[in-house]
């Protein structure tokens, strides 16, 4: 029987139980991600499907569905650990539909402050009945109540308290913070234990929503005043001249003041530090080699006052169309987008060689600095995949260095903390190109939460200069 089918006696009318539709949508997202979908795309697809059938959720219910889906995906390993401890069948041997439904209930009991325990249990049991798992509803009820009994005396406990932890430090960190065991072991090799713990904490935080004011159309202070007048809580970001961050949850950011007028765009605070490292100047010829969806391209265009020639390359025409729309909204005219493989620009554009004052390579990478923002990424990345990425990154650098004019500057950036993709790669490049100079090298680590929301993503940047 398919998980979404029902049998007589199983069905519970969804409209009689508040919040049941939110839980069902979250459960469907978990199944889609387990089958290979990306979390954000799966959530968007399920919300759109529900809206088409006339069952659209309120803003509060959308928020609850998002919290449960993203949170349960982040906490997959820990939630599986609880299933292993509480059930007679291990998590990996559970029917997938039941495993993800248990994750919906367990996540609420362990992590959600706004859902009473009784509501978490009752709605999960009702969901089991609604989606054709009614015969397993007693199992669901028993496991969730067993968790509550085990943790009844643990006031203010951590989500793993009451769960047996491995003696091995890396395995224990992986289980407590729901990280892939290979990544947990690597972290403890890169960082002292307290910093590895901070990284893991940052990966599980709800990410901040940071914005970048468009200095060609407004100032950060003026934008903050507009937000205040509209009742939107925000503050300036120190160290980011045009950056601000929202202090509360919002619905669709496109509904915020100034979006349609091109006064701002969404960009993480760490990402806002990358384009200025190029020291771009008005009138220069600039290449953004892996540009889509365009946050750094538009930032570069703003920094040069929209005066110059900025080529934005990407292999994906669809992603470039998104860049073009954003540039148009921001009123930027100097960006010229082109669908092109940046590993071989000389073949398509031989006359480009030696002509660019500035080159930005925001390289494809493992994304280990953005695990809070992409909850499913930690389960997709493998050490073997990173090996392939390092080869691609080196190939891109070797193809782009010849595009630099004498004395030109190239910034290599990633959103990862993996040393092989960052400092190790740049050290090997410099050894192979003695005339190349390293002007600056920086690693940003993801910031643990300060208040309700997390801080910036993890980024790396190396500033390279060609010989004059």
- The whole-chain average pLDDT of the chain stands at 93
Average confidence (pLDDT) over 95-112:
96
Across residues 50-74, what is the average pLDDT?
A: 89
Q: Is the pLDDT assigned to residue 428 strictly greater than 80?
A: yes
Q: How many helices (H) and strands (E) does the chain have?
A: 17, 11
Can you give the pLDDT at residue 2? 35
- Asked if 237 and 243 count as a contact pair (C-beta separation under 8 A), the reply is yes
pLDDT-based confidence at 12, cuts 50/70/90?
Answer: very low
**Top-confidence residue, 113 or 396:** 396
Burial of residue 393 (number of CB atoms within 10 Å: 0-12, 13-18, 19+):
buried
Given pLDDT bands bounded at 50, 70 and 90, which one contains residue 153? confident
Predicted local distance difference test score (pLDDT) of residue 456:
87
Residue 52 pLDDT grade (very low, low, confident, very high; cuts 50, 70, 90): confident
Q: Is the pLDDT of residue 417 over 90?
A: yes
Cβ contact 11:129 at 8 Å:
yes
| Token digits of residue 422 | 């960052």
Residue 43's pLDDT is what? 95
pLDDT of residue 243: 97
* Maximum separation of any 2 CA atoms in the chain, in Å: 79
User: Which has more pLDDT, 271 or 56?
Assistant: 271
pLDDT range class, residue 59, cuts 50, 70, 90: confident
Q: Is the pLDDT score of 145 beyond 90?
A: yes
Rounded CA separation 229/209 (Å): 19
CA 39 – CA 47 distance, rounded (Å)? 12
The model's pLDDT over 288-332, given as tens digits with 9 standing for 90+, comes to 999 999 999 999 999 999 999 999 999 999 999 999 999 999 999
At 451 the pLDDT is 63
DSSP letter at 140 equals H
Mean pLDDT throughout 122-129?
97
Is pLDDT at 285 greater than 60 in this prediction? yes
Residue 1 has pLDDT above 50, yes or no: no
Residue 339 has pLDDT above 90, yes or no: yes
Question: Each residue of 168-215: pLDDT tens digit?
Answer: 999 999 999 999 999 999 999 999 999 999 999 999 998 889 999 999
| pLDDT single digits (tens) 390-399 | 999 999 999 9
pLDDT of residue 10: 37
Query: 311: closest CA among 339, 331, 344?
Result: 339
Instruction: Decide: 332 and 324 in contact? Cβ < 8 Å.
Output: no
Of 34-38, 150-154, 213-217, 417-421, the poorest mean pLDDT is in: 150-154
pLDDT in tens, 220-253: 999 999 999 999 999 999 989 999 999 988 878 9
Cα–Cα distance, 91 to 133 (Å, whole number): 16
Please confirm, yes or no, whether 415 is among the known catalytic residues. Answer: yes
Q: Quote the pLDDT of residue 289.
A: 96
Is there a contact between 203 and 74 (Cβ–Cβ < 8 Å)?
Answer: yes
pLDDT at residue 221, rounded to an integer: 97
Note the pLDDT tens digit of each residue in 434-450: 999 999 999 999 988 77
DSSP E strand boundaries for 352-450? 356-362, 404-414, 437-444
Q: Specify the DSSP element, H or E, that contains 407.
A: strand 404-414
pLDDT category, 4, cuts 50, 70, 90? Answer: very low
Q: Of the candidates 360, 275, 277, 288, which has an alpha carbon nearest to the alpha carbon of residue 319?
A: 288
Percent of the chain at pLDDT exceeding 90: 86
Q: Is the pLDDT of residue 217 over 70?
A: yes
For residue 437, the cross-strand partners are 465
Say what percent of the chain tops pLDDT 70. 95
Q: Which two tokens stand for residue 289?
A: 């080699």
CA–CA separation, 411 and 463 (whole Å): 5
């Amino acid at each position: 029987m398919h998980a979404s089918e029902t049998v007589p006696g199983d069905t519970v009318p969804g409209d009689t139980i508040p919040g049941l539709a939110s839980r069902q949508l979250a459960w469907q997202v978990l199944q889609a991600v387990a089958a290979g979908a990306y979390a954000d795309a799966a959530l968007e697809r399920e919300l759109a499907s529900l809206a088409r059938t006339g069952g659209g959720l309120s803003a509060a219910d959308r928020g609850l569905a998002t919290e449960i889906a993203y949170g349960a995906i982040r906490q997959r390993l820990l939630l599986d650990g609880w299933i292993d401890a509480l059930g007679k069948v291990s998590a990996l041997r559970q029917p997938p539909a039941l495993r993800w439904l248990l994750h919906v209930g367990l996540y609420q009991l362990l992590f959600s402050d706004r859902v009473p325990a009784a509501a978490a249990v009752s709605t999960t049991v009702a969901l089991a009945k609604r989606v054709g798992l009614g015969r397993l509803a007693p199992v669901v009820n028993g496991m969730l109540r067993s968790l509550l009994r085990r943790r009844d005396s643990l006031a203010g406990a951590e989500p793993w308290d009451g769960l047996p932890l491995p003696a091995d430090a890396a395995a224990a960190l992986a289980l407590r913070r729901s990280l892939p065991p290979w990544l947990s072991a690597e972290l403890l090799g890169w960082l002292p234990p307290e910093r590895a713990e901070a990284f893991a904490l940052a990966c599980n935080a709800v990410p901040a929503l940071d914005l970048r004011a468009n200095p060609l159309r407004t100032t950060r202070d003026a934008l903050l005043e507009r937000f205040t007048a509209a009742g939107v809580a925000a503050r300036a970001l120190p160290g980011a001249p045009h950056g601000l961050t929202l202090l509360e949850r919002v619905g669709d950011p496109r509904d915020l003041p100034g979006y349609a007028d091109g006064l701002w765009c969404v960009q993480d605070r760490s990402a806002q530090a990358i384009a200025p490292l190029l020291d771009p100047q008005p009138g220069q010829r600039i290449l953004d080699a892996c540009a889509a969806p365009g946050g750094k391209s538009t930032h570069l265009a703003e920094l040069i006052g929209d005066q110059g020639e900025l080529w934005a390359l990407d292999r994906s025409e669809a992603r470039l169309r998104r860049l073009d729309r954003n540039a148009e909204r921001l009123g930027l005219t100097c960006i010229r987008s082109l669908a092109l493989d940046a590993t071989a620009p000389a073949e398509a554009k031989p006359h480009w060689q030696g002509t660019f004052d500035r080159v930005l390579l925001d390289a494809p990478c493992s994304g280990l600095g953005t695990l809070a923002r992409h909850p499913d990424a930690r389960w997709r990345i493998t050490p073997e995949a990173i090996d392939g990425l390092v080869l691609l990154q080196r190939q891109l650098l070797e193809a782009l260095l010849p595009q630099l004019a004498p004395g030109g500057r190239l910034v290599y950036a990633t959103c990862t903390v993996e040393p092989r993709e960052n400092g190790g790669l740049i050290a090997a490049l410099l050894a192979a190109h003695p005339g190349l100079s390293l002007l600056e090298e920086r690693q940003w680590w993801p910031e643990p939460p300060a208040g309700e929301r997390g801080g910036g993503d993890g980024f790396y940047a190396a500033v390279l200069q060609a010989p004059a």
